[in-house]
Structure 1
Amino acid sequence: MKRRRKKRSTKQYAVIAFYEKNNRWPAPSSQNVKERHLGEWITRCRFIRNHSPEKLTEKQIQLIDRIDADKAQKKTERWMVNYEMLKDFVEKEKRWPSVNASEPEEIRLVNWCLSQRITRKNTPKSKLNKEHIKLLDDIGFHWSSNNKRRTWKESFNLVKDYYARTGQWPAHTRDPEESRLAKWCSKMRAYKNRTDTSVTLSPGQIKKLSNLGFDWTNSQENNRRSPENTNRIWIERYHHFCEFTTNNKRYPKAKSGDPQEESLYSWWMRMAYLKRKGKLSNERIHLLDCIGFRWGKGNE
């Protein structure tokens, strides 16, 4: 027991030393191994604090609270930066950002606006940030999404941005926007492979998608992810799962009505399935065991 406490204390001091040197907390999705391990330690401690706080020392609890407070503050600051950028754009251009834009900054604002609509739609009223809603209302923000037919260029830019952010191509999920992009990608493959002859892609369109590294196959496994991106995405998913169980004091449900929660439920079941089939690495099993992961619905 003493050795375990000493090891935890060593990690605690290493986390503080990292912050003092880099002016930020270690990230669990970092490509640097040492930083990633510190970030994973923070994630595990956060989970333990909310489920079995007696297993942590008072100093460890204080450290996690400090990290969470900093995280909340930075999240608010990032939101305000994006809000001010949107406000300045509307005042200067006398219009809202267009999905037909070619400028990266405008495309970024388009996706930020979309995320605000999705957040409001999927967040319970009791947890909505009313201050953010009021600020957006004050500049005449349009909360209803525009589902009009998109041009080829509009869809291409959205898929391009999605791939740049996630390292993968859109998939058919419960998220309506991602599914809409995935459907467009499926059509592009069908048009090029001539399994659908209703539309013929121009050489220029094929070249643009090919230059992007577009996956022209129908295989969901061949999604052009690098090992680094695959690991980064898994760690982020792991982190989101820990945050959900910590904040809600329960595991995600299959039919909650919230696409993000239902997606986490699918991820939970997927991890259990991969372990049963012997396809989950020992490192990932260890990380999940460290947070008391329940390997299947039977353990709820």
Structure 2
Amino acid sequence: MILHKHNSETYANMVSLFQTEQRVAAVQPTGTGKSYLIMQLIEDNADKHFAVCSPSTYIFEQMKLLADENCISFENTDFLTYTKLAQTDAFSKYNYIVLDEFHRCGADEWGQGVQRLLDGNPNAKVFGTSATPIRYLDSGRNMADELFNGVYAVNMSLAEAIRRKILPLPVYVTSWYSFRGDIEQLEMKAEQSGNPRLKNALLGKIRKAKSMIAELDVGIEKIFEKHIRNRAGKFIVFCPSVEQLQRMVNECDLWFTKVNHDIHKYTVYAQNSASDKQFEDFRNDKSESALKLLFCIDMLNEGVHFDDVDGVIMLRATQSANVFYQQLGRTLACSDSKKKPLIFDIVNNYETGDTAQQYAGFMEIAHGEGEYDDEIEFELYDYVRDIREILNELNDTFANSWDFNFELIKEYAEKYNAFPDVNTSYEGVLIGRWATYQRTLNNQDKLSKERVKKLNSIGFPWDVNEAVWQAFYEELKSIIRSLGHFPKKSEFGDDKKNLYGWLTAQKFKHRIGELEEEKAEKLIALGCKMTKGKKESWDENFEKLSEFVEQHGRFPDNSDANSDPENKVIYVWANSQRTAKNRGQLSDERIAKLDSIGFQWDKHEAEWANAFEMLKSYFSERESLPGSNEVVDGYKLGKWYQRQVDLYLAGNMQAYRAERFQEAGIPLENLRQRRKNEVFMKYYDSYMEYLQKFGKHPISSERYNDLDLVKWRCTQMQKKKQGKLTDELAALLMYICKDI
């Protein structure tokens, strides 16, 4: 298989690292060919057994097509979705485990399934791929550090991929298909105005705006006509909801009448049972006469690429740069083709939140000096700039004064306990845009101190991130008012997972000294337990970890983290110490303190040791072993023990672990054998009791303790002759039968 230059370099790094490391990660942007690395690894190790894991069966189908094209055999390869892993307890034995989109392994259920797979294959080499390894809503966990100990074959950003011309810069067309509705809303508001002078001024500008829009002639259908040169092209249409998707499928024909009347439409979303077939039909549609449109929501946001897709159409407005680039990434792919993908942004994502900042980075790349001599050409067609200016002018006139807008945004904040984002319209006025303009003026020192003071008086956030923080804070306050106390984790509910993730992140940031004191004080005032100061935080967390170990005889694991927010903080903190040590950022003093309590620097070894200590306590207290489905303190101890038995019986358990079981007197036997042994010992104990009581062997007509001891003895003797008894049981049998 022929790899592109950048992937050849990455693959060589990976092979070299696998000489000394067991786990290696490749972090590179969507479209740069991560699947090719996986295929090359499988091809070069055709005699090895592979487990390839990913979030989606669509990704597997794409891999299989790639393998067919390059004559790569999957004879020794198993494909497992993370959902399937979460539902599986026993796994085959693998030489290599591939974790595609490994950032998804941070999810609780999926993570447990992956951990079981890794535990069941302790000697397997693990290769992971991802474009975004950091889980920002989960305490900022870096899954490359957690799963791969920070060992990278490559760590490439999107900007670097574009600068090196691995990925193309797309042709970006931005429009705003709802602007006519916005003007009509303003016109209705103007008609209702009680101020005749303001009403006349507004209606005059609205008439002028409509005239200018007519002259601009920027209907969506004409934009598509101008830029879609291939009338038989393929496009992916991202929609915000099922309702919107279904509406667009029915209404979109008018948009493309000037491109093609013959349109093949496909829909893919979770609730659609025909999604798999629709996906394949779209992929295989090679019609040279029809325009092909695939309408979807989130199912294609990750890991799926099409060589022949001409572009994407964004109908989903988002402030998330991650979502924006996942959508954009469906058309980005490294190839020798000079074709530039088309991005139709008709919901004004270009100017929204983090996306605008990220895309500004593209512009910088486009106009800066890269490592190549020729310039990178950047094409941006903004058809709504003039219309935005008209709407801004209308809004300014409608508001008529700074104080009017201030009162409007104050009213909005009181009503919704949050501040508007950039595209928010309230009472017919784009107050979100006005708020953004105030931030711009303030950054340029052009906003008077009096106005800054007034905005501060209502808690106005001076940056977008501050607005998000304030929105979560107000949501938390609302829950506290409703409950009458600070909520426990169980009281957040499934619809408040993002809020709980945000709160956990604030606690963690405060513990490492990265949360502003003012914000910490606001949370403390609500009843949130916070610690102070970075050094004090480290010492406090160390003490909490020590207390946990003293109380439980082990270190916290994932089940502890899931059962209690405070335990989660300790668990995440402990993981962060491992990361800090791997990066050389942990002092010798702190390393020594952690060593003093037996801290396990290898996370996976720590989790094994925790489970073993739990099993020891169970065995000591109950003189029995857990059933396969038994859960202890929220941990699936029975399944863990059974995995250890499977490893031992298959000869895959490390020697020192087997020794620990032997030292603790805990047998390593499967459930069926254990039950056989228990039955054997029940009869054996009764037989010994009979011998001691009567001084002779039982006869066939007798029963003792309601057991037929003679029949049992004869059966066991027969099994011994057939070699069906273990050496231990055979020795016990011969002891009671020595004088027969």
User: TM-score normalised by the shorter chain: which range applies?
Assistant: 0.3 to 0.5
Q: Which structure has more RCO (C-alpha within 8 Å, separation ≥ 6)?
A: 1
In the superposition, the TM-score normalised over structure 2's length comes to 0.15
Rg larger for: 2
More strand as a share of residues: 2
